[in-house]
Amino acid sequence: MMQEDYSVPDSSTEIVLEILGESQKRRLTGGELMLLLDEAALCDLEIAANKLERRVVDYSALQNRVDGMQITPDGVYSSARETGVTTLEVLKKMQADGLELLSGEGAEILNDRVRTILAPEKTKAREWIEICEEAHYVGLKTIATMTFGNIETYYERVEHLLRLRESQDKTGGYVGFIPNNSEDEIDYLRMIAIAKIGLDNFPA
């Protein structure tokens, strides 16, 4: 369960409809994305999201395994700690071994309160992003993920999207975004739509 109790709107408020119209012309702020999460109906979110054109990348065609193992930012972090080298050096070695795509598994929610509770052994939010940006620096692509519907708030969901959007502005190395939540289909569909609107610099 999420930390806060939210109800799903049956209809969008007037200001939300205005924001959805603006989403077709400009980048939305974090506050506007919060309003969409709170007050937008699913049908209106999907209409706005589907109008946005996104570049499609065949990232399944990129090599995302080394020695049969899928490589994630947390795996890079663990390898660096075990071998006593930097994460950048680990990434360069994996790239030399044929890696082209860094899996986005382990992103969970990019907020340290949530990560400390749900995955204390994994990287902090900043470390996860930094490893992805290092991967982009050496020429690797990455996928971003988001596992939601647990203890995070709507604010922390938006924080996750904004961290990814800011990182993509810097590097342009993310080739896809995959949300994960099997508990609530409506919540899942709403987040897909909001991610399409909010991550305006990501491919579909």
> 154-194, pLDDT tens digit by residue?
999 999 999 999 999 999 999 999 999 867 899 999 999 99
The partner residues of 174 in beta bridges, in order of sequence, read: 142
Cα–Cα dist 42/9, whole Å: 8
The mean-pLDDT minimum among 59-63, 92-96, 161-165 falls in 59-63
What does residue 201 show for φ and ψ, rounded to 5 degrees? -110, 15
pLDDT at 92: 97
Residue 55: pLDDT over 90: no
pLDDT at 1: 40
Contacts of 96 (CB under 8 A, 6+ apart): none
Residue 106: pLDDT over 70: yes
Rounded mean pLDDT, 71-86: 96
Q: What is the separation of C-alpha 154 from the centre of its chain, rounded to a whole number of angstroms? A: 14
Residue 57: pLDDT over 80: no
Higher pLDDT, 41 or 53: 41
b/e burial code for range 27-66 (CB count within 10 A of at least 16 → b): ebeeebbbbbbebbbbebbbebbeeeeeeebebeebebeb
What tens digit of pLDDT does each residue of 6-52 get? 678 889 999 999 999 999 999 999 999 999 999 999 999 999 999 98
Cα–Cα dist 103/19, whole Å: 33
Cα–Cα dist 204/201, whole Å: 10
Cα–Cα dist 105/145, whole Å: 6
Quickly state the pLDDT bin for 3 (edges 50, 70, 90): very low
pLDDT at 164: 98
pLDDT at 108: 93
Cα–Cα dist 1/151, whole Å: 6
pLDDT at 5: 56
What tens digit of pLDDT does each residue of 136-158 get? 999 999 999 999 999 999 999 99
